[in-house]
Amino acid sequence: MKNLATLTLGALLEQTVENYGNLPSVSFVGEEPITYSEFDKLRLSVISLLGKIGIKTGDRVALLSSNMPNWGITYFAIASMGAVVVPILPDFSEGEIENVLIHSGAKAIFVSEGLKPKIENFKDKTLEHRIMIEDFSMLGDSKPDIVFEEGSRPGKEFKVAEDDLAVIIYTSGTTGKSKGVMLTHKNICSNAVSSGEIQEISSADRFLSILPLSHTYENTIGFILPILRGSSIFYIKKPPTPAVLLPALKTVRPTLMMTVPLIIEKIYRSKVLPTFNKNMLTRMLYAFPPLRKKFNQLAGKKLMQTFGGELKFFGIGGAKLDKTVEKFLREAKFPYAIGYGLTETSPLLAGVNASGTKLQSTGPPLVGVSLKIHNPGKLTGEGEIWAKGPNVMKGYYKEPGLTREVLTEDGWFKTGDLGILDSTNYLYIRGRSKNVIIGPGGENIFPEDIESVINNFKHVAESLVIQQKGKLVAMVHFNREEIEGKYHHMKDELSGFLEKKYDELKKELHEYVNNRVNKFSKIQVIQLHHEEFVKTATKKIKRFLYTGKKAS
């Protein structure tokens, strides 16, 4: 089932129910999944509830919830009645949530129990109804006589067109102000259909969902796409810490997963690398390329078992994957797959499955998507990536000026990312154009490349490279627990010792980095950053928060 006659979310679900109605759809890990037919009946009952409280076609309805089966049921209910879903990231602050609700003009909100405190102080009259997503009960006294009735059906049919607005997604990007990205039914459905061309997916497949459903990456590829193919999707009730994730992997034995680079990079640096560096002999053997490949293959087999043993597609997107970590995954024969996209493109623009990866490439453009490099450099071929296709957004909500800045009159979307296309049409991302630092001789310095080197130094958890007063400054967050664990036998002297150790690490790191980057990218100052950096939903550091900091 690769084609979809009508590119609307309602038509997509209707086709899935017709083909896979008796098969499992969504569930928490360890619980009995509901079938697609049951999913659809609950969707109709939620539409009935929305009708009773006066929600009409075109009204905005917010969705503030952790991942759960009812999230998807609610999403399809809102969209298939012609209303507009406003998914809100669970990590948004009260202030950010307030801005989204006011800017979108949301008339109702579905909220999960754990996130309810974030809207308790919100008083704007536009928001007329609050509904608990766990049981669809009305919150407050706006409509005390209205109750959710399972099995009820809407009193009318809804006509939804492909170009109708389906969702407004408010991004929390790395460059500042959140914008409301308007995606149509056609945007989302066409992207799900095209994404399905990358990897064969069937009704026998099992997805384990660990990224927020309110982010378009997980929403389209980890939710809409598996529903299109009749696969089953499993959610976990708590944040995906190792203690929660490992048992879930063992129970579900997923065949497909979506993730971000930070997750697999942490696994590599905290679990894989220490095994090879535990003594001088293994460290020396691992440095020898033929033996390193053998070691990595053995590690890859263990990693596969950790992920349940049946994984065939481990999708990585949302940020650039560290080159060293990707080399490990290739040599380990781990079935990783790379993709590239943005919220504004629903999201996927380019992607490839595990059998087609090339080191540091995000793969070729999706079927139906055109990519070009605007104004490429004569020597490097680098330029801004522009995209065109049915998945490109309608625009930014209530922001016609911002929309004109990124969408050309003939439909090209300016991504703001710099990259190159090789002779086989594979895309390589260099970095965000806004992040590029201009060197003293006009050279383009990509901070992401320097950060990749820094992050592979011992005890480094994460880093950020910025320019301050003409100097390249590396802000580095060391893994304090790891360092303290190594010197736990020195408890009494640990405090003073750590300060001295950090000074030594800074000096070592300075030399390590500058021996591995070009002359324009050499770091002049290393600044300790004691807390984790603030990140977006896809675990990219919000750079704009740190560019004004002084080096020390």
Alpha helix (H) residue ranges in 196-229: 216-219, 225-228
Cβ-in-10-Å burial (0-12, 13-18, 19+) of 401 comes to exposed
Residue 368: DSSP 8-state: T
Write down the pLDDT at residue 241: 86
Residue 35: DSSP 8-state: B
* d(C-alpha 508, C-alpha 429), whole Å: 29
CATH number for the domain that contains residue 270? 3.40.50.12780
- Asked if 502 and 528 touch (Cβ cutoff 8 Å), the reply is yes
Same domain, 423 and 496: no
Same domain, 275 and 382: yes
* d(C-alpha 353, C-alpha 312), whole Å: 9
Same domain, 363 and 450: no
Write down the pLDDT at residue 546: 85
Question: Which residue range is the domain that position 61 belongs to?
Answer: 9-22+34-183+211-233
Q: Phi, psi at residue 430, to the nearest 5°?
A: -95, -35
- Asked if 383 and 418 touch (Cβ cutoff 8 Å), the reply is yes
pLDDT tens-place values along the chain, 552 residues long: 357 889 999 999 999 999 999 999 999 999 999 999 999 999 999 999 999 999 999 999 999 999 999 999 999 999 999 999 999 999 888 888 999 999 999 999 999 999 999 999 998 889 999 999 999 999 876 667 889 999 999 988 999 999 999 999 998 644 456 789 999 999 999 999 999 999 999 999 999 999 999 999 999 999 999 999 999 999 999 988 888 999 999 999 999 999 988 889 888 888 888 888 888 888 888 888 889 999 999 999 999 999 999 999 999 998 888 999 999 999 999 999 999 999 999 999 999 999 999 999 999 999 999 999 999 988 889 999 999 999 999 999 999 999 999 999 999 999 999 999 999 999 999 887 778 787 765 667 878 888 888 988 888 889 999 888 778 899 999 888 777 776 665 555 556 667 788 888 889 899 888 888 887 788 999 999 988 998 887 778 888 888 754 433
- Asked if 84 and 106 touch (Cβ cutoff 8 Å), the reply is no
* pLDDT tens digits, 199-216: 999 999 999 999 999 999
CATH number for the domain that contains residue 504? 3.30.300.30
* d(C-alpha 42, C-alpha 19), whole Å: 18
Give me the chain's average pLDDT, please: 90
Same domain, 83 and 221: yes
Enter the tokens of residue 97.
């949530």
* d(C-alpha 268, C-alpha 99), whole Å: 38
Same domain, 375 and 460: no
Residue 466 inside a domain? The answer is yes
Q: How are strands ordered across the β-sheet holding 383-388?
A: 370-374, 383-388, 413-421, 427-432
- The residue among 509, 517, 546, 549 whose CA lies nearest residue 435 is 546
Same domain, 219 and 262: no
Residue 148 inside a domain? The answer is yes
Residue 359 inside a domain? The answer is yes
Same domain, 100 and 229: yes
Same domain, 288 and 340: yes
* pLDDT tens digits, 240-260: 888 899 999 999 999 999 998
* d(C-alpha 261, C-alpha 278), whole Å: 24
Same domain, 102 and 40: yes
Alpha-carbon distance values, 517 to 284, 360, 447, 470, 521 (Å): 23, 17, 11, 18, 6
Residue 552 inside a domain? The answer is no
Write down the pLDDT at residue 552: 34
Write down the pLDDT at residue 544: 81
Residue 415 inside a domain? The answer is yes
Q: Phi, psi at residue 234, to the nearest 5°?
A: -120, 140
* d(C-alpha 9, C-alpha 14), whole Å: 9
Write down the pLDDT at residue 470: 77
- The residue among 241, 212, 235 whose CA lies nearest residue 68 is 235
Same domain, 422 and 503: no
Q: Which of helix, strand or coil describes residue 395?
A: strand
User: Domain count of the chain?
Assistant: 3
Residue 242 inside a domain? The answer is no
Residue 324 inside a domain? The answer is yes
Measured N-to-C along each axis, helices 494-514 and 447-454 cross at an angle, to the nearest 10 degrees, of 130
Write down the pLDDT at residue 551: 37
* d(C-alpha 543, C-alpha 541), whole Å: 6
DSSP letters for 99-164:
HHHHHHT-SEEEE-GGGGGGGTT---TT--EEEETTT-PEESSSSTT----TT---SS-----TTS
Residue 109 inside a domain? The answer is yes
Write down the pLDDT at residue 451: 85
- Asked if 83 and 60 touch (Cβ cutoff 8 Å), the reply is yes
* pLDDT tens digits, 81-137: 999 999 999 988 888 899 999 999 999 999 999 999 999 999 888 999 999 999 999
Same domain, 268 and 297: yes
Write down the pLDDT at residue 431: 82
- Asked if 44 and 252 touch (Cβ cutoff 8 Å), the reply is no
pTM of the model: 0.86
- The residue among 522, 546, 545, 532 whose CA lies nearest residue 266 is 532
Q: Is the dihedral of CA 532, 535, 541, 547 positive or negative?
A: negative
* Strand spans (E) along 342-447: 348-352, 370-374, 383-388, 395-396, 413-421, 427-432, 437-438, 444-445
* d(C-alpha 18, C-alpha 21), whole Å: 6
Same domain, 347 and 225: no
